[in-house]
Amino acid sequence: MEEDSTMNDYEVNSTIHEEDSVFSNLFEAESSSVNKPCSSWYNSRMIETDEGEICWIPEVEEDVRPVKGQVFDTIDDCIEMYERYAYQAGFDTRLSTQKKTNSGVVRLKYILCNKEGKPQGVSIDTLNHENSGKRVRISSLQVTGCEAHVIFKLIEGRQSYILDEFQEKHNHQLNSVEHRHLSRRQRKLGISEMTFINKVSTSNIGATRAHHIYSNMLGSYKNTHGTVNDFKNYKNKINCFISSSDAQMLVNRMENRREHVPNFTFEYKVKDNSELECMFWADETTKANFKEFGDIISFDATYRTNRYNMMFVPFTGIDNHKKTVSIGAGMLRDETTDSYVWLLKAFLDTFGSQPKMVVTDQDAAMKKAVALVGKRMFDNTDFKKKFNDIVWNISLSTKTFEKRWAEIMKEFKLEEHPWFMHMYDIRSTWIPAYFTDLPMSGLMRTTSRSESENSFFSNFTSGGAMLIQFMMSYESAMERQGSRLEVLDHQTHNKRPPLQTPLLIEEHACNVYTRTIFLLVQKEIYLGSWRCSRHSVTSGMQGCDVIVVKEIREVKKNIQKVVVGKKKDKNVEVVEDIKIVDPEEAEDETENETGMGSTTKTVEKVYTFQSLHVQQIPEKYILRRWKKDLIPPGMRTRRYIGEGASSEECERMGNELHFMVDVCVDILQKDEEKLSHFVEKVRALKDEIEAAHSNSRSNDHDEAIERFLGVTKPSNNDVQNPPVLPYKGCGKDSRFKSLNEKVTEKYLKPKRKCRKCGTLTSDHDARNCEKKKAEKAKAEAVAQALEKLEKK
């Protein structure tokens, strides 16, 4: 490029002081007429025109600098060339005017410096109360009227473009080399960044943490395309894309899944105004869980999982590893009776039968009221201890419970208390003494299992999530849960615990039960072998033998037993029990979690089996729910592939490719020459693939979002988003307000004249005026002084 002859070199006064380091870095003081770079870290040189204007001209490699008359095959090649030049020069570009032929072919294209244009003024009058609260937006872009640009024209008779005009002078300082990563080109999020943001969002990782993690993975923030704000903007773009179509997109996604995934159930209900009200869903894994572990379930609503404040209601069971598993889930707009009736009906219609027992918490408002009423008793008496002793004591009979309940109510004068009267009326639904015939499977306390499940889901969900984002987080949580249980299945088959006795019945238990359950049974087998002995054997009715078993075990001191010895623990005594065991009647006894009865009865049964030379646990004592291999391998972690998403096999191969590239980079990371050669090979392969699939590949962010969500955005919404409702029992906004916010609110508050002090203010009135308080205090002081004088 020939430079304009009207331009003169900018000369810096040689009298600049050495301490003026800022200017000495910007300019290199020389009196010669040769242009010099401004600084070692700025790729530009500064010149001054005859009119006295200062301009900057980029200094880049010659093969990157645009040359007037250059020819390009496509308009995309033109844009790519100028953006590459702008990146090295240190400025951003903006696409501008574009003209097309009648056939739709671009014939003229302007590309400008991003600082082109003039700043627009903003009119703000702070004395006007109507707009005094307005704030001037601080833009991140400062336009300076820069005239640097290029113009590309279509060559007549050819499908090529020529660089018709190139203006390289800028009226602003260009970015330094160290700030290249902050240029608009480098901050543009690529497919890697967008995919990473999408995937980690299903684990409740926001944009800020996602940027920090991704930057650490790449080794530096400079290697990451985009700043924290760019990551946040992409998250906001997803929310804006979903916006009013949230409920409809969720319904479409779930219906697509119901259509293509075997044995998947999805039901929903809308109000008269088409707003989403209730949902219930269950896949083949949750149905298999209900079949094997659905004898006793619990459910409890949890909050703050989505921006509409819909209650999330997971149904929970205990699997054969004694771990929490999901048995379907629902969402409710409110906690009314009608909503729960609909949800439970959907549950019964899906599974075809009801569990033996359902455990749930009481209403939260009721629990709060009880806490307020009983606070005095809990703090000042032993009511809590006595009450818990009868409520959670699984060894009490119903008659004993009723007797002790009456005693406690009388002692603390609660006979007429409405809540305790109501709870006593429904005692058969919540007191363990009334359902001792059912194995609880670890679900004795709702707060320990349901709240644990809710805590687990909170690691994946966010209170500000859209409904469809919540569903993706739920699926991620289910995959995590299934992966954890598959690890336990693998350990059951590959980590056999050492046997503690030579009994064949112990080996049989190891082959039947999961590893977790076997460790419990193994303890009972060991105790039965060493703590029990045969006291006597007599012939019973119908030719059956009755075995009298003597067991030595540890009990608390307050239990009346015959003491045969003492241990070091002062709270424990070793006692001797004599039990009569009839093997034929053992089937009718209460079963514990392993199916063999309470701990004491299990020990007795083990010894009885040993006495009768039984080598395997009889089938009637083995609960199916504790056996191995109840859920088919792979079912728990089977994934749903939505619309436009890659298949599971393609995803696997993609991950394998990432692994191979990482291995190659690790091997070559200290050999710059070989690593550069490897990069060139990969770049050439990338260009070849992009050229072959140029028509099928799209850079549209909306399409990328639809691929991530697994559903396309509908043109109309038959199902409307639910309104944002407050959480049940939530109080007022208790956040701390900033000083500026307080001052603004005080300024905008209407002012009135105080009748007492005459001040125009919004702080007080005549009732709480400081002048009134001072006069009252003065009057009281005078009255007290007079009273003292009168006494004297």
Mean pLDDT of the region 92-119: 91
**pLDDT at residue 568 is higher than 70:** no
Can you tell me which residue has the tokens 């709480």? 768
Residue type present at position 401: F
Measured distance CA(165)–CA(162) in Å, rounded: 9
According to DSSP, the residues that pair with 111 across neighbouring strands are: 95, 150
- More confident: 285 or 441: 285
**pLDDT at site 366:** 47
Mean pLDDT of the region 527-531: 77
The answer to whether residues 35 and 9 touch, using CB atoms and an 8 Å cutoff, is yes
> Rounded to an integer, what is the distance from CA 768 to the centroid of its chain?
49
**pLDDT at site 434:** 78
Taking alpha carbons only, the member of 260, 296, 266 closest to residue 280 is 266
> Which pLDDT band holds residue 428 (cuts at 50, 70, 90)?
confident
**pLDDT tens digit string along 675-731?**
999 999 998 998 888 888 766 555 567 888 888 888 999 989 999 999 887 655 555
**pLDDT tens digit string along 733-761?**
556 666 666 766 776 677 788 888 888 88
Mean pLDDT of the region 483-504: 91
**pLDDT tens digit string along 265-293?**
999 999 989 999 999 999 999 999 999 99
**pLDDT tens digit string along 284-319?**
999 999 999 988 888 888 878 899 989 999 999 999
**pLDDT at site 674:** 92
Task: Specify the pTM.
Answer: 0.72
**Highest mean pLDDT (candidates 446-460, 595-609, 754-768):** 754-768
Measured distance CA(577)–CA(533) in Å, rounded: 11
**pLDDT at site 299:** 84
Q: Quick count: other Cβ atoms within 10 Å of Cβ 109? A: 22
**pLDDT at site 95:** 92
Measured distance CA(788)–CA(792) in Å, rounded: 6
> Which pLDDT band holds residue 510 (cuts at 50, 70, 90)?
very high
Query: What are the tokens at 233?
Result: 């903007």
- 151-165, 491-505, 533-547: lowest mean pLDDT where? 533-547
Can you tell me which residue has the tokens 């003494």? 433
**pLDDT at residue 565 is higher than 50:** no
Measured distance CA(256)–CA(259) in Å, rounded: 5
Mean pLDDT of the region 317-332: 92
Distance set, CA 389 to CA 361, 401, 449 (Å): 19, 10, 21
3-state class of 533 per DSSP? strand
User: Which residue pairs from 202-208 have beta carbons closer than 8 angstroms and sit at least 24 positions apart in sequence?
Assistant: 202/460, 202/469, 202/472, 202/473, 202/475, 202/476, 203/459, 203/460, 203/473, 203/476, 204/458, 204/459, 204/460, 204/461, 204/462, 204/473, 206/235, 206/462, 207/231, 207/232, 207/234, 207/235, 208/232
**pLDDT at site 6:** 37
Mean pLDDT of the chain: 79
**pLDDT tens digit string along 330-385?**
999 988 888 989 999 999 999 998 888 887 776 554 455 455 555 666 665 688 78
Q: In what order do the strands lie in the sheet with 44-49?
A: 7-9, 44-49, 54-58
> Which pLDDT band holds residue 560 (cuts at 50, 70, 90)?
very low
- More confident: 651 or 287: 287
